[in-house]
Amino acid sequence: MAQSYLMAVSASCSVALGLNAVVPRLKKVSPNTKLILGRLVPFAAVASASALNVFLMRGEEIRRGIDVYPVLSEAEKKKREETGEPVESLGKSKKAATIAVGETAISRIINATPIMVIPPLVLVRLEKTAWLKARPRMVLPLNLGLILATSVFALPLALGAFPQRQAISAESLEEEFWNRGGKDGQVEFNRGM
């Protein structure tokens, strides 16, 4: 865990330092565009660290695979609820694990995007207004308010981007799962967080 943390932090810092060095040197870009790009550097650093962290922390799942289950019809679900019989795993799939971890990484980036993109871009606009120029002490409260407002919507959006239990065709996984799917030839797996 410590190694994954250090690697993610190193990647984040490398992205931030690299982009902070590159953005001011861009020659064919207007000063306003440089300002906007500079404000988006933290987003690039956080997004890269979040995605890398997911792959590092869940890399074992990709190497070993995750459990895959047949998709049950409504009648089968009801029957199992009555009897208490668990659904047996069809086995472990590396392809399903790659999909699950990839979707989790994307959802982490989706979570960071509104919080780390909207407030800086809105502030760039607001800092040019006479009202904010006359009240520079309002920059911090406005920034915090924008972050709070975007945070309220970002997490549900990110969590809802992909279903928790993902159903896919058994043929899209390893050959051992072909023709072993449940309803409509589909299997499902838990994507994780």
Each domain of the chain, given as residue ranges in start order, spans 1-57, 65-193
- The whole-number pLDDT of residue 44 equals 92
Q: How many Å apart are CA 48 and CA 193, to the nearest integer?
A: 17
Three-class SS of the chain: CHHHHHHHHHHHHHHHHHHHHHHHHCCCCCHHHHHHHHHCHHHHHHHHHHHHHHHHHCHHHHHHCEEEEECCCHHHHHHHHHHCCCCCCCEEEHHHHHHHHHHHHHHHHHHHHHHHHHHHHHHHHHCCCHHHHHCHHHHHHHHHHHHHHHHHHHHHHHHHCCCCEEEEEHHHCCHHHCCCCCHHHEEEEECCC
- The whole-number pLDDT of residue 193 equals 74
- The whole-number pLDDT of residue 12 equals 87
Tokens 């943390």 belong to: 5
- The whole-number pLDDT of residue 160 equals 86
Mean pLDDT, each 10-residue run in order, the chain (193 residues): 83 90 90 91 92 89 93 84 85 94 92 92 91 91 93 87 88 88 86 79
Whether this model's pTM surpasses 0.85? no
